[in-house]
Structure 1
């Protein structure tokens, strides 16, 4: 029984699938008319997003609760989990545009939870391709500052993504 538990958890948290689903709704051309069968497809996508959020939120919350009580990351992650739960309690506005807006809010929240989960598990996210940087993958540090010049950060980027321009 315990040998199958890691396999089950791996299936439960397929973050790549979660991100792909969210990306379908967040692409700039994912307008209501761009969906194949707007009402049916959107209802299915929304149901999948809700399921992923219901699965991921408690896991992210547990990781956040392991952080020091007074840490800013803990506060931010718990706020995101609260936001996810609020969106799960909410209902879409009537009509197709209300349903699309609701699904997109769920997708943005799912992306944020995926990122928190990966960061709390010690996995970095490549800012160019938005995929995890796994142990042993070639990566290089990237330093950048805010537009105002007041803050500087450093993160990792895949070696093959160093010349990639992010278009979001």
Structure 2
């Protein structure tokens, strides 16, 4: 996971799909939680992903205008992530699982910031990036006053999640 970047080389781009898959190993309620050595491996993968994505998020944030709120939010998240990487793992399997879940939530937030700063268009229902080739629907949530509160697109599979008034 750790890579040494020498002069003249460029770090590989982050793979958000792989990172989100690693997150799902701890956060998806339909997946059996890893334990023992498997938990250690997931934890190492999470730490490696965080170390890879921090500079990407930081660089994208610094390119934003000083007054841009997303810049400050992303940089605050980077600071939190660095703190999580410095934090000690608690003893025992429950402590290790709790720490790994904190890392997973941190990585998920960094992925969200990375996508937002890169201008990714998100599904308004599930908050996942819209990908080419997947069925989507236009979505305008209109307030009683008639103005749109949220306009954009949602995945067709998420249409059942939207509360209609």
Provide the TM-score with structure 1 as the length reference. 0.76
**8 Å CA contact retained: 2:89, 2:96:** yes
Give yes or no for the alignment of 1:165 onto 2:161.
yes
Number of residues of Structure 1 aligned to a counterpart in Structure 2: 150
Provide the TM-score with structure 2 as the length reference. 0.77
- How is 1:1-168 mapped onto 2 (pairs within 5 angstroms)? 9=12, 12-28=13-29, 34-35=32-33, 38-128=35-125, 130-134=127-131, 138-144=135-141, 152-158=149-155, 160-165=156-161
Cα RMSD after superposing both structures = 2.8
**8 Å CA contact retained: 1:141, 1:155:** yes
SS in 2 for 1:92: coil
Deviation at 1:135, TM superposition (A): 5.3
SS in 2 for 1:50: helix
Structure 2: 5+ residue stretches without partners: 1-8, 143-148
Compared CA separation, residues 66 and 21, structure 1 to 2 (3 A):
same
SS in 1 for 2:44: helix
Structure 1: 5+ residue stretches without partners: 146-151
**8 Å CA contact retained: 1:61, 1:78:** yes
Cα separation, 2, equivalents of 1:135 and 1:73: 25
Compared CA separation, residues 133 and 47, structure 1 to 2 (3 A):
same
